[in-house]
Amino acid sequence: MLRYLNQCSRGRGAWLLLALTAFALEMVALWFQHVMLLKPCVLCIYERCALFGVMGAGIVGAIAPKSPLRYVALIIWIYSAFRGLQLAWEHTMIQLHPSPFLTCDFAARFPTWLPLDKWLPQVFLASGDCAERQWQFLSLEMPQWLLIIFAAYLLVALLVLIGQPFKPKRRDLFGRL
């Protein structure tokens, strides 16, 4: 399996699939916000940023999958999935154990050199409360689903990283003579 993951990481298809899944999740988030009129909180916005990181990793990996750039994409992927998992855990804990003393910020805090909430407010402007439960599917809230999603991203990323030293098997038409 590790050889297979190594082989997949050396092709564009797997990296584009990674970017496509993260893009699809971003589109679902925007659909929830603009069609279903759910209000994203600050942690939702940060979780979106982590998904954009996963999508960026897929794009970076697809640029030159057979070069060392693949390792840069893996680092971005692991970091984004890990941070997304942390944020989803924090968000889940706020929803499951609401407290007047433990709340999220009113507005996202982006660096001054990257004010995403000013550049693209339709995507990055927070307007909801982190403790408010707005959506549920199969008895799980949205942050709980994001826990599962980011954990899956992180698990696959770590398996791909572990599989890097395993060289893909060479397949000869006539076998070894």
- Is 95 inside a domain boundary? yes
Please indicate whether residue 49 is annotated as part of the active site.
no
Please indicate whether residue 8 is annotated as part of the active site.
no
Whether the predicted pLDDT of 55 surpasses 80: yes
Q: What per-residue confidence (pLDDT) applies to 50?
A: 93
Q: In which band, very low, low, confident or very high, does the pLDDT at 93 lie, cut at 50, 70 and 90?
A: confident
CA–CA separation, 123 and 47 (whole Å): 12
- The CATH number assigned to the domain holding 97 equals 1.20.1550.10
Write down the catalytic residue from 83, 104, 133, 176.
104
Q: What per-residue confidence (pLDDT) applies to 79?
A: 95
Percentage of the chain with pLDDT > 70? Answer: 87
- Is 20 inside a domain boundary? yes
Whether the predicted pLDDT of 8 surpasses 90: no
Write down the catalytic residue from 8, 48, 171, 176.
48
- Is 12 inside a domain boundary? yes
Q: Report, as an integer, the average pLDDT of 19-23.
A: 94
Residue span of the structural domain in which 18 resides: 1-164
Residue 143, classified by CB atoms within 10 Å of its CB into exposed (0-12), middle (13-18) or buried (19+), is buried
Q: Tell me: the pLDDT tens digits for 100-156?
A: 766 677 777 777 787 777 787 777 777 767 667 777 778 878 888 899 999 999 999
Q: What per-residue confidence (pLDDT) applies to 148?
A: 93
Q: What per-residue confidence (pLDDT) applies to 168?
A: 61
* Token pair listed for 11: 């092709």
Write down the catalytic residue from 49, 130, 133, 176.
130
- Is 175 inside a domain boundary? no
Write down the catalytic residue from 41, 49, 70, 83.
41
- Is 25 inside a domain boundary? yes
- Is 125 inside a domain boundary? yes
- Is 132 inside a domain boundary? yes
What angle is formed at CA 118 by the lines to CA 60 and CA 26, rounded to 5 degrees? 45
Highest mean pLDDT among 8-12, 76-80, 88-92, 117-121: 76-80
Percentage of the chain with pLDDT > 90? Answer: 29
Please indicate whether residue 41 is annotated as part of the active site.
yes
Greater confidence (100 vs 26) lies with 26
- Is 172 inside a domain boundary? no
Write down the catalytic residue from 10, 12, 44, 70.
44
Number of structural domains in the chain: 1
What angle is formed at CA 170 by the lines to CA 169 and CA 172, rounded to 5 degrees? 140
Please indicate whether residue 104 is annotated as part of the active site.
yes
Considering the entire predicted model, what is its pTM?
0.78
Please indicate whether residue 48 is annotated as part of the active site.
yes
